């Protein structure tokens, strides 16, 4: 019973004790944070997350207090508590008021979990690396907001109103590296379908999947904008833009691997956007134009005619990136995954868990049926429902003081007779006439 980790109806005694302590102290916000980050190995419950999201929109709720309570829960030694605290923070960043994000970005309070390790069990060892990577991503997400003053997952996307699609070159060249750093931190989570073994990491994966779609949609818009203006840039900007595009191609492959994991764990294919890669001829055309600006000998594009041809080639292959932009934009605009309970989709209820739950339910039902139909529960053996014993039973008992006079059987039984039939040996022995013969008056 060390650590008060005895479980009661899913929650531990420690969880109940903390909730009761906050209730007595009148600390409703602290109690809600405690409820969302219990030691129970399931995702934070939707009702607790919804309440905390509501709190971020209330002007009389202290955002610093809420953030500090969650940061405090990440200092726990139990991996479940720490993981659920990080998930709650991520949920509030995604669905809560922007002032919560602003506080995390401006407070300089990062999650110090680079050395976190839960040694209490095998599962603690397995989950600890993912907690460290997840905390790193959330730190990077807050840093990105501090740098560019907006959330990449919430900005407008698309050809007409997309923030990165309409951004000027100088600002775009400064913004894309920040976006790349956040995307890198997300992709470093690096899990497989076999790692998603419990409800906690499952919800974490769903939140990361949601962010990935929005981040890459934004990233793709920025790259399209960059390529459209590539041939109008000076040599310095062209060199930076080409380097950004090469990094984009590498991240495109890693995003594809992440989407494969999402497909393997059962996310509906309609929720997974199509990733169309640009042909290699586009990279060749960009490198050729940069070589022309640098005046390299033997370059493939060293005449105005060849440069114009390269521009047409780029325009023709931009359709692949536009297709990807449209696919990711539609997936990001969809709210189907957001409406799932606890932010997780039914994909993680695999056949094994489903069959196990059905088997347990069937076993419980069979046990109940057997108990109801058991002879031990019949009225014949229930002393309060059984009738008085027949007269023949009392006649077979030896009377130590002589034969008792026979009495007519009384067919009408009273409630008191049922109580006396519980088995008084003296009453049965002497025919119920008296308690003991020595106290009778007719001997």
**Residue 27 confidence (pLDDT):** 65
Eight-state DSSP code of residue 367: H
**Residue 48 confidence (pLDDT):** 92
| Domain ranges for the chain | 1-151, 156-353, 388-439
Query: Domain 1-151, what fold?
Result: 1.25.40
Burial classification of residue 330, based on how many CB atoms lie within 10 Å of its CB (0-12 exposed, 13-18 middle, 19 or more buried)? middle
pTM, full prediction: 0.72
**CA 35 to centroid of chain Cα atoms:** 15
Question: Which string of DSSP letters, residue by residue, matches 125-182?
Answer: HHHHHHHHHHHHHHHHHHHHHHHHSS-TTTS--STTT-TTTS--HHHHHHHHHHHHHH
- Walk along the chain (443 residues) in steps of 10 and give the mean pLDDT of each run: 43 63 62 90 93 94 93 93 96 95 86 92 94 96 94 87 88 96 96 93 95 94 91 92 93 93 88 82 86 69 57 66 76 66 45 61 76 60 52 51 56 52 53 46 46
> Given 1.20.58.150, 3.10.129.10, 3.30.1330.80, 3.40.50.20, which CATH number is that of 156-353?
1.20.58.150
Q: Are 67 and 56 in contact (CB under 8 A)?
A: no
């Amino acid at each position: 019973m060390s650590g008060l980790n005895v479980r009661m109806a899913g929650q531990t005694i420690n969880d109940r004790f903390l909730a009761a302590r906050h209730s007595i102290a009148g600390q409703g916000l602290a109690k809600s944070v405690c409820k969302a980050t219990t030691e129970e190995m399931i995702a934070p419950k939707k009702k607790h997350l919804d309440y905390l999201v509501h709190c971020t929109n209330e002007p009389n709720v202290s955002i610093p207090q809420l953030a500090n309570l969650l940061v405090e829960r990440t200092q726990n030694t139990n991996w479940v508590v720490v993981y659920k605290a990080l998930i709650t923070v991520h949920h509030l960043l995604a669905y809560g008021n922007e002032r919560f994000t602003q506080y995390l970005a401006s407070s300089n309070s990062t999650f110090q979990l680079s050395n976190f390790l839960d040694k209490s069990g095998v599962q603690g060892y397995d989950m600890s690396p993912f907690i460290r990577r997840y905390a790193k991503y959330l730190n990077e997400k807050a840093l990105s907001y501090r740098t560019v003053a907006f959330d990449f997952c919430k900005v407008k996307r698309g050809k007409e109103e997309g923030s990165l699609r309409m951004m000027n070159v100088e600002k775009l060249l400064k913004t894309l590296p920040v976006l790349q750093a956040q995307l890198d931190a997300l992709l470093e989570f690096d899990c497989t379908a076999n790692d998603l073994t419990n409800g906690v990491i499952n919800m974490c994966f769903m939140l990361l999947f949601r962010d990935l779609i929005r981040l890459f949609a934004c990233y793709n818009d920025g790259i399209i904008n960059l390529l459209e203006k590539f041939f109008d840039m000076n040599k310095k900007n062209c060199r930076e833009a080409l380097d950004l595009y090469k990094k984009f191609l590498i991240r495109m492959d890693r995003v594809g691997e992440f989407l494969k994991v999402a497909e393997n764990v059962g996310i509906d294919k309609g929720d997974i956007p199509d990733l169309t890669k640009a042909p290699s001829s586009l990279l060749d055309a960009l490198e050729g134009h940069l070589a022309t600006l640098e005046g390299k000998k033997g370059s493939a594009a060293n005449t105005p005619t060849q440069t114009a041809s390269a521009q047409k080639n780029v325009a023709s292959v931009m359709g692949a990136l536009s297709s990807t932009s449209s696919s990711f934009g539609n997936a990001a605009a969809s709210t189907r995954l957001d409406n799932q309970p606890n932010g997780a989709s039914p994909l993680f209820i695999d056949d094994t868990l489903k069959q196990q739950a059905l088997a347990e339910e069937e076993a419980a039902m069979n046990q109940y049926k057997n108990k109801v139909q058991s002879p031990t529960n019949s009225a014949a053996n229930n002393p309060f429902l059984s009738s008085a014993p027949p007269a023949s039973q009392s006649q077979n008992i030896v009377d130590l003081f002589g034969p008792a006079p026979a009495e007519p059987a009384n067919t009408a039984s009273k409630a008191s007779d049922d109580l006396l039939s519980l088995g008084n040996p003296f009453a049965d022995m002497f025919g119920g006439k008296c308690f003991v013969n020595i106290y009778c008056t007719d001997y």
